Amino acid sequence: MILTVTLNTALDITYRVRALRPHASHRVSEVTERPGGKGLNVARVLAALGHEVTVTGFAGGATGRVVQDRLTATPGVVDALVPVTGATRRTIAVVDERTGDTTQLNEPGPTVTPAEWSAFQEAYGDLLASASAVALCGSLPPGVPVGAYATLVRSAKAAGVPVLLDTGGEALRRGIAARPDLIKPNADELAELTGSHEPLRATQDARRRGARAVVASLGAQGLLAVTPEGRWRATPPTRLHGNPTGAGDSAVAGLLSGWVERLPWPDRLARAAALSAASVVAPVAGEFDRRTYEELLGRVAVTGEVTAA
């Protein structure tokens, strides 16, 4: 079982409009709702790839009940969310059909009490006992300590469970010090962490800060990996247009699935890059276009070298 952790779960709501204009009224052509938050998006992609996945984090209020109801209907995903008294947040994505651009509005999430945080840590420890790998994903809701991910990384390592960390800001800075097996920052998160906008230098710096391996997501330029086994770059053959929300989460699912399947690094990166690109043409986060994925998988260019880094 693969475990994904989403401390700040959400109900993702996507509106599609003909053209988004400031200060104007819009007629919505289509509305979709999905359980959201980075780890839940990762879990849906993993389940679509045939893996057994358990999701945990927090859920509360009417929105939380909707999220859990939708999870029940998701094949291959087991709900182990921990209840809180506050209401789960909503995220609103507005897709401009004319340009393909997406405008995102993210609520902060519920305030988690110390007792609720303690209950989560106990539940998390129990779930680690049967996990083959764990992904810690996304932002922290109010009330959760900024060092929360460092705590969860240490718990996973103590249980002998490989751990991937995908977050940003101070949560990433604290979490990387606990030495996760893999981090997956995007270009902005990497620059904020290291102070460098040069991808290879920043990725190497991030690894020196504590991560065993670093895979940086560079948008249309693909993925850059610095690992103990070598350095590689994975580049999709073409740039696809659509909704990029969730593309990074699909990349995490590709990396995590390749990890538990013990694929070589170049194959893991090719899968992650193809999934990320295929999710751009899917209508909502946490999904990917399977035909596009299969077409791209064999065409992702992976270059690099084996090293003794």
CA neighbor of 133 nearest in space, from 73, 80, 180: 180
As a residue count, the chain comes to 309
CB 258 within 8 A of CB 268: yes
Reading the block at residue 138, the tokens are: 């996304």
Catalytic, out of 12, 166, 181, 249: 249
Those residues whose C-beta lies under 8 Å from the C-beta of residue 265, and which sit 6 or more positions away, are 225, 227, 229, 230, 232
Active site residue 249: yes
> What whole-number distance in Å separates Cα of residue 122 and Cα of residue 305?
42
* Residue 147, SS3 per DSSP: coil
Reading the block at residue 53, the tokens are: 């996945």
CB 205 within 8 A of CB 190: no
> What whole-number distance in Å separates Cα of residue 197 and Cα of residue 205?
11
Catalytic positions are 249
